[in-house]
Amino acid sequence: MAISDDVRQKFVEYVMLQVFDDQYIDRQEEKQILQEGIKYGIGIEEGLAIMRQLVSEKGLVLERDAEERAKDMLDTFAHNDGKVDQKEFSDALAMFKKYSKGKIPEPEMKRRLKKMIEENGWIAKEGGFFGTKWYSEIPS
C-alpha cells in the first residue's frame, strides 16, 4: 500500500527527531519508531525501508545494521572450519565499532559477538601452547 507524501514526510520528521541528539537508532528506538509509523498507517517493512534510506542519506546509525554486518563477517570467518580465531573476532569487533560509530561500549559489543557465535554454533578458537583464553574471558 502506497503512503501519501504528507504521511511519509511526517514519519521522516519523527525519525529525525528521534536521532536529533545522537544520530543513532538502537533497537528500542527502532521499535518505538516503527510503532509510531503504524499509527500513521505505515507498515513495518515500509517503515524499515524509510529508516534505512534516511540512515544512508544522513549518515545515521541503525544498530540492527551494524550487528548484521558483524554477524555476516563472523559467518564468513567461520564458513571454512566453523571456527573463529582471536584475530577474526578482533576484526569483527573493529567493524562493529566502526558501523556503530562507537555508540555501544566495547564490553557490550564483545558480549553480543560472543552471543552471535554461540547462537550460530560456531566455535571460538582459543588456547594452544602459548594461547590465551580470550574468548572464555568475555562475560556471557
Domain ranges of the chain: 5-59, 64-125
Q: Distance between CA 3 and CA 14 in Å, rounded?
A: 16
Q: Distance between CA 136 and CA 140 in Å, rounded?
A: 9
Does the pTM surpass 0.85? The reply is no
Q: How confident is the model at residue 121 (pLDDT cuts 50, 70, 90)?
A: very high
Position 1 scores a pLDDT of: 58
Q: What percent of the chain has pLDDT over 90?
A: 84
Q: Distance between CA 120 and CA 104 in Å, rounded?
A: 22
Q: How confident is the model at residue 84 (pLDDT cuts 50, 70, 90)?
A: very high
